[in-house]
Structure 1
């Protein structure tokens, strides 16, 4: 790896939980500053950067549904939570000198642009980062699926999922001490083994459209730039 980007256009998927740090809820200023700094380093390499961020640090639709709330209502609340995170990340990126736009799948013109694919492409071509908020705009779909969908629509060359763990294991490493790390794996194997690295709908959509995925630890400084420059970190998921 020589510091030269391997990709021209990427999409980064961030979990909402990544923004709360050790708080247990909400957005930790130090953490969102750290994330913005990591993304800005990639943007400065000349890479066209788009992002999807979850909302689990504020509200999770699945959790609301399991507590007795109507699933559609709970998911709508989760989508609004992603808008809050997207606006916070946009502000942090702008402070890092990265011109950024937020596009929302739910109309809310006073705080974000509506999602328009051609406009998003134009932003990227102009050197602006784009954050896609509110998931797909539909209940029952996760932000993982939204990330794969947006990556496909924008012809991103790869989707990076910067997360809380350093890659994919054959079983939960937090529970099983003998869990084995997996460096490379096919989409079909992820589906067959029910490895919960991403939503199964997202994995299927990526497989159908041959979109490579790379899962790695967000909390190691420089990891996003390393992945963009072809570093072998985390786990690569692809068509075998």
Structure 2
């Protein structure tokens, strides 16, 4: 395998599937099968999942809710998704641990770096929920930070788009995809990959990011085997 330990970042919106809200069981099962394939290859897997299918902190302002309160609500939304994914993975016979940025001992462990690494070494899939436990930080930032803390080889950002393009491919038919691009070029061209905090963390720690289409069967396993899938962002 090209990567021994990965941090898989999934968007909450992706869990909606064809629905307009909540969790689509078919999409959840699809992701479970893809993750199981990679686990069977012997790869150590950590996962961060968003909560946009349930609630986003930025929605708070529109509702008149305080931004900080809204961000905490968003953290709880990510935890709901993380619990759903944990349940699906365990039904498939996989061993998991759910670790939270905020203390909710009834359903998950608090995040402790050494314990998280130990779980990965023992072959458990570690899911990080509730962000980093502080407002004003996105799940992209959580993914970058946790990947650095557990010494992952790469951040795999699974989206509905198959890579990074010169423009939004859903709005611009002339947009072309990058196979490889440097952190500097992403900054320079103002491409929307991750929020600036998350992106800078990866750049400063020389942690590569691969943006790929998680909804296409086999993409995840192809990636960890070293095939060219999506767009690799690295220090060239």
TM-score class normalised by the smaller sequence: over 0.9
Q: Identify unmatched segments of 5+ residues in structure 1.
A: none
> Which consecutive unaligned segments of at least 5 residues does structure 2 have?
none
Kindly state the Cα deviation for residue 68 of structure 1 after the two structures are TM-superposed: 3.5
Aligned pair partner of 2:196 in 200, 213, 216? 200
Pairing of 1:127-206 with structure 2 (within 5 A): 127-206=123-202
- What's the offset of the Cα at 1:196? 1.0
Q: Could you tell me how far apart the structure 1 residues matched to 2:59 and 2:165 are?
A: 24
Q: How big is each residue's C-alpha offset from its partner over 1:69-107, in whole Å with a ceiling of 9 and x where there is no partner? A: 221111111100000000000010011111001000000
Quick check: 1:186–1:238 contact (8 Å CA) kept in 2?
yes
Shift of 1:67: 4.4
1:65 positional shift: 2.6
Quick one: structure 1 residues 42 and 172, their matched pair in 2 at CA, closer, same or farther if it must change by over 3 Å? same
Please show how residues 8-47 of structure 1 align to structure 2 within 5 Å. Answer: 8-47=4-43
CA contact (8 A) 1:191 1:203 kept: no
**SS of corresponding position for 1:49:** strand
Partner of 1:52: 48
Q: TM-score, structure 1 length as denominator? A: 0.96
Aligned length: 236
> How far off its partner does 1:197 sit?
1.5
What TM-score, normalized by structure 2, do the two folds share? 0.98
Q: What is the RMSD computed on CA atoms of the aligned residues?
A: 0.9
- Give the drift of 1:143: 0.3
